[in-house]
Amino acid sequence: MSHGELYHSMNKWTMPLIANIILFAVMQCGFAFLEAGAVRSKNSTNILIKNLMDQFVAGIAYWIFGFPFAFGNGNDFIGYTFWATYELEETKLALFFFQYVFAATAATIVSGAMAERCEFIAYIVYSILITGFIYPVVTHWVWSDNAWLTAGMDYTFNNETVTIGYKDFAGSGVVHVLGGIAALVGASLLGPRKGRFHKGSKTVVPIRGHSVPLAALGGFILLFGFLAFNGGSQLTISNAGDGEAISLSVVNTIISGSMSALVSLIINRLTGTSKWSLLTTLNGALTGMVAICAGCNVYHPWAACVVGFFAAIAYKLINTIVTSLYIDDPLDAVAVHFGGGSWGVIAVAFLHRTDGIVYNWDQASGMALAWQLCGLVTITAWTAVTSVLMFGILKLTGLLRVAPELEAKGLDIPKHGEPAYPTEAYGHGWEEKLAK
Helices (H), 75-211: 93-113, 120-129, 135-143, 148-151, 178-190
Closer to its own copies by Cβ: residue 172 or 253 = 253
Least Cβ distance, residue 425 to its own copies (angstroms): 4
CA atoms of 43 and 419, how far apart (whole Å): 8
Q: What's the maximum distance between 2 C-alpha atoms anywhere in the chain?
A: 89
End-to-end CA distance of the chain: 70
CA atoms of 272 and 401, how far apart (whole Å): 32
Least Cβ distance, residue 166 to its own copies (angstroms): 25
Residue 153 has φ and ψ, to the nearest 5°, of: -140, 165
CA atoms of 421 and 404, how far apart (whole Å): 23
Least Cβ distance, residue 186 to its own copies (angstroms): 20
Least Cβ distance, residue 302 to its own copies (angstroms): 6
Closer to its own copies by Cβ: residue 161 or 200 = 200
Least Cβ distance, residue 126 to its own copies (angstroms): 16
CA 67 to chain centre: 18
CA atoms of 168 and 91, how far apart (whole Å): 24
| 341, 295 contact by CB (below 8 A) | no
| 199, 130 contact by CB (below 8 A) | no
- DSSP assignment letter at 338: I
- DSSP assignment letter at 271: S
Closest CA to 278 of 38, 89, 109, 74: 38
- Residue 200 CB partners (closer than 8 Å, separation 6+): none
Closer to its own copies by Cβ: residue 200 or 427 = 427
CA atoms of 287 and 315, how far apart (whole Å): 7
Least Cβ distance, residue 392 to its own copies (angstroms): 24
Task: Please give the full DSSP string across 202-266, using - where no structure is assigned.
Answer: TEE-----S-HHHHHHHHHHHHHHHHHHHHHTT----STTHHHHHHHHHHHHHHHHHHHHHHHHH
CA atoms of 136 and 337, how far apart (whole Å): 18
- DSSP assignment letter at 192: P
| 38, 331 contact by CB (below 8 A) | yes
Least Cβ distance, residue 11 to its own copies (angstroms): 5
Closer to its own copies by Cβ: residue 76 or 244 = 244
Least Cβ distance, residue 26 to its own copies (angstroms): 6
Least Cβ distance, residue 233 to its own copies (angstroms): 12
> Crossing angle for the helix pair 242-270 and 278-292, nearest 10 degrees?
140
| 167, 295 contact by CB (below 8 A) | yes
Closer to its own copies by Cβ: residue 57 or 376 = 57
Least Cβ distance, residue 207 to its own copies (angstroms): 8
Least Cβ distance, residue 369 to its own copies (angstroms): 26
